[in-house]
Chains A and B, each alone.
Chain A
């Protein structure tokens, strides 16, 4: 599929890397020649130097024959313009990054009236993901499927955990909860486990189940964390604003610390039930003064990774229940080692959204519609949700007679609102939601999981 990516910022590069890996033909457009050269050297892409909102640059990039354009420059207006022009020039699908809260209300208008296929707001999506984690603090990370009916939570098994050295077939007996372990990370390796797999301490396991069953599991295994009531947010940028709004709407006490006093007034104006504090959120005295120890959770969202990491480490040392760190340079995989369990990065969140869109587009010939795609364990494992289409050949055949590829696991099936953890005798039926967990494979259609 021919894809044009305009703007080689953090999001643009993440998208480039991801989509090249999936085998698409990518042309990148940027005004900065050095960035282009380095992208062309590192990835198998073609570079076009120029302003991505001009016909000239878009024509050189082949907009007339492209299937998709992703506009990810620093400016919202430019992204919209770029999509409009490319669309008129013949690009079939357009994705624009629009992140100014002012435009948030008119997303619908942009889509319907201006014909932009998808609007991505990485900051809003990131805030959404953080708020989901805060609502279920026991898990290090949480991804939901089937409109929240099923979730995948990852938890780290510490050495004092009773689950250490437990084989998976004993897991349900020990935890009394109906959950399924669908991926295990051990050091740098990832396993899609079978029943006789044995959990060791310091593994990070990803488990599927409903919210209630997951809670039960957490309680039984002693990793349950109390409901979070008080949240401190460091950094009042876009994510900070969205997050404060989302959390205060659910009745939590939010303290938002922001360095710039004009921005503080601005935030206080927009956010009613939030305590906005003016001050340097990376200053230890200020954190203590504002009652860090009384908080249930701390979210560090400043623009500088190092500051976020240091603030989070301090909060961990103070025994804060839940610490969430925003990191832009997500390729460093050392953060888990230094004790930061929950790390989010806007590029990854937005990248997953776009990847899902691209796969669904690429797969428009196939018929099982991809619903959700989440990447677990540093992107090494994918959990994908499909709806089984009418008349598919694999319907009503028991799993024991279907030949699944190795490293693929059916996480669960949702039929009429009920969750089923499939055994050998279970079948897939039309309109079921099926969650497929896989390592190292690209699944675009349910057909892809069979030998």
Chain B
């Protein structure tokens, strides 16, 4: 390489850094910085009226799994915390499954429309994003609560004699999350199916595959990137969901998000909240790693 080319390469590198500087700055101050603060807070002592005192303390991390007895200070496994973790994981998993089950046919339907109609359907899918999440969640509340739309209609028509009690249960949270996160599943699935060459269906049928075999052996493996992306986009925010369990789950059916909020609010235990946040982050990271690796591994073998 000549000296002139060296200089040119150096300029290109410098320009690259300069151009990405604003993004890097934002990432540093808005993502890495706060994360670091949360990490540090999780090792501090809770202040009497919230906030933290600058003294090293591991109670925050211990509090994730154990409760301290008020009198003799012995540690007991925190059943309440366990049930919150379990509920979060269970509901997030179910939400991912149901959004896939509903979202896949939806995305397939949209991707197989003529281009003009396709734009309209995609537009309809994105409409919910225009409204605030809180308002949408209250709308769901209005539909499923005991005196809500669903029960009123069912009672009036005589199908049921007592209102179906869904509101403030896990089912309500599940319905709300499935509704809220469905577009996040549909859009990546659509992007993936849209690129799918429909001629491959004919090739599959031609080569003696039944409809089920075409789905399992041709369609699913090829649109897998969309399935992976959609599942991640639904599972991760579901795990940290806050508004939906708050509005539809009442106060009792907390998820991790609400539990964390509680520590920073009424609980006045910032270190525990910080430790819980870090745990959530860690759980999500591990889950993603396993999931992506499993998805790729299958591709190599299959």
A binds B: no
